[in-house]
Amino acid sequence: RPLIRSQVDERDMATTREMLALESKLIDFARTGRGRCRPLASPERPVKRTWLNEKQQAAVRHVLSSRDRVMIIRGVAGTGKTTLEQEIGEALAEAGKPVVAIAQSVKASREVLRQEAGFASADTVARFLKDTDMQQSAKDGVILVDEASQLGTRDMHAVFTVADAINARVILVGDRRQHKSVTAGEPLKLLQDDAGLKVAEVTDILRQAGDYKKVAGALSEGRVGDAFEELDKLGWIRQVAGSERYKLLAGAYLAATEERSRDGKPKTALVVSPTHAEAARVTDAIRTVRKAAGELPGERIITSYVAAHLTDAQKADATEYEPGNLIQFHQNAKGYKKGSRLVVSDDIPPPVDLASRFEVYRSRPLALAPGDRIRVTAGGTTRDGKHRLSNGSLFTVEGFTAEGHIKVNGGWVIDREFGHLAHGYVTTSHASQGMTLNKVFVAIDSESMKATDQRTAYVAITRGKEQAMVFTDDHLELLKAASRGDKALTATELVEASAPEKPSPAKVFANRRRGLRPQDLNPVQHMHDTTSRSQEPDHAR
């Protein structure tokens, strides 16, 4: 694909005409939809949740009274976005407007939106984009997108395309300072900056209180230095060298899990780390302490599977496989149904001609014992098929059946051959987005700092309600890493940044006399203008 290249702040950067065209379509859809719709409901409707604060209630009124096709609510971490979405959902239902709620991750959609916000049929963006029945259920209604910052440009364009086809409006709820999509583009930022949409801001933090709330507020505004100063005053940054740091972290985490809330329920706690390598070291330290205390008796070794993240080209190459690799089909294929699995061996070669239809996983031994926390790493169902195992869900091992299947809390049983499991004591910052715990412990050593920036620190440190303890081997270097902003640009920004200042009318006249065309002076900007014009409807040309 031809690239559009430019240099911004002494950095060589590039984008494609395809990405620029997609961004132009997003902006055009939002701009042309401004003021074109009737209000969804009466903004005078009294809120049912009278405890909602002024900004939350203003966001509800913004959605109900808006005449725009696309609406945006920016809610910083811990401001009660889920409760806000629940109020909006009920108001739209009262007004007879169908609503489909979606989010990029399984946890955000099937757990938070379904179980907490009350959208019973909420699902992932991926499911929505391929399920025409789900799409039609939003016809003449509303598509609500939670954690909208995690959508890439292609997915956002696909959602807008569906909305256009079914005459639906779109509500985007998210925070551009939190993690963005792992795919290309940052459409929420693009729409906020370039589409001219009114954004409802929800900034009153409810999750934390006192000095911890000051930390969260500073991070939400990008004031990382102020946040770290407050953490330091609280004594919540521990600088300790070597393996002793992990022993202290393990002790603090395990002590937190023994605490009880006022209602007598165990408090929730989690460790967040930006890299899998450090997560493994923390997990080992926690399990070592638990074993020494006799809390993990009867340990067994099962086979787990870790995603190989192979490209289609790599999956089509038989030399990429080794005995024990798991192949799992995510689409129907000749001779295989969606969900079918096979394990590569000398007698069972990989079906490389179907490479685009399956994913590949490497086998790893996983030690489990009653009392262990485990995390689901890929979707599936319990052994009896009655319960969904959602990617990211956490369980506690309660024992094993006579056949070796895994018994977990809730009376569920996971097949011993399921394999998509990992220890659940530690998660990445990206995976933790949307979670709320009583206490969070953040592990970032010098090696992990390469994977740390403002987004990482903001999301990880704001997961707790009561406390956020940071364990590192270099406080000052961590502050530098956590202060590092995301310098990624949208394709539109890249083109605009590379454009020279607009010439004065006299300069334009002089250039014409010299026979110079605009594209001769700035071919990149001309390319952008041409792309934008190509997206205009016929009646606008």
| Judgement on whether residues 178 and 42 belong to the same structural domain of the protein | yes
pLDDT in tens, the chain (541 residues): 576 666 566 566 566 778 788 888 999 999 999 999 999 999 899 999 999 999 999 999 999 999 999 999 998 888 889 999 999 999 999 999 999 999 988 888 888 899 888 999 999 999 999 999 999 999 999 999 999 988 889 999 999 999 999 999 999 998 877 776 667 768 888 898 888 889 999 989 989 999 999 999 999 999 999 999 999 999 999 999 989 999 999 999 999 999 999 888 999 999 999 999 999 999 999 999 999 999 999 999 999 999 999 999 999 999 999 999 999 998 899 999 998 999 999 999 999 999 999 999 999 999 999 999 999 999 899 999 999 898 888 999 999 999 999 999 999 999 999 999 999 999 988 888 888 899 999 999 999 999 899 889 989 999 999 999 999 999 999 999 999 877 666 667 666 665 555 566 666 556 665 665 555 545 445 545 555 444 444 433 3
| Judgement on whether residues 115 and 260 belong to the same structural domain of the protein | no
- Give the Cα separation of 532 and 296 in Å (integer): 61
What CATH number is given to the structural domain containing 183? 3.40.50.300
| Judgement on whether residues 53 and 66 belong to the same structural domain of the protein | yes
Domain boundary among 459, 483, 507: 483
Cβ atoms within 10 A of the Cβ of 345, count? 11
| Judgement on whether residues 80 and 196 belong to the same structural domain of the protein | yes
Region label for 517, one of left (φ > 0), alpha (ψ between -120 and 50) or beta (otherwise): beta
| Judgement on whether residues 136 and 248 belong to the same structural domain of the protein | no
In a domain, 94, yes or no: yes
In a domain, 413, yes or no: no
Q: Where are the beta strands (DSSP E) in 228-357?
A: 237-239, 269-272, 300-307, 326-329, 341-343
Q: Do 109 and 85 touch, CB atoms closer than 8 A?
A: no
Return the structure tokens found at 1.
């694909």
| Judgement on whether residues 315 and 337 belong to the same structural domain of the protein | yes
Domain boundary among 483, 501, 519: 483
Domain boundary among 365, 385, 401: 365
Is the pTM of the predicted complex or chain greater than 0.85?
no
In a domain, 389, yes or no: no
Question: Nearest to residue 425, comparing CAs of 288, 298, 272, 297?
Answer: 272
In a domain, 244, yes or no: yes
In a domain, 541, yes or no: no
Q: What angle do CA 63, 64, 67 make, to 5 degrees?
A: 75
In a domain, 496, yes or no: no
| Judgement on whether residues 181 and 248 belong to the same structural domain of the protein | no
In a domain, 519, yes or no: no
Q: Do 79 and 462 touch, CB atoms closer than 8 A?
A: no
Q: How many residues are recorded in the chain? A: 541
In a domain, 185, yes or no: yes
**15: domain range?**
3-202
pLDDT score at 487: 66
| Judgement on whether residues 19 and 47 belong to the same structural domain of the protein | yes
| Judgement on whether residues 216 and 179 belong to the same structural domain of the protein | no
Return the structure tokens found at 10.
């002494």
| Judgement on whether residues 313 and 275 belong to the same structural domain of the protein | no
| DSSP string for 149-189 | GG--HHHHHHHHHHHHHTT-EEEEEE-TTS---SSS--HHH
Decide: helix, strand or coil at residue 116.
helix
Q: Do 324 and 346 touch, CB atoms closer than 8 A?
A: no
| Judgement on whether residues 230 and 158 belong to the same structural domain of the protein | no
- Structural domain count, the chain: 3
| Judgement on whether residues 250 and 191 belong to the same structural domain of the protein | no
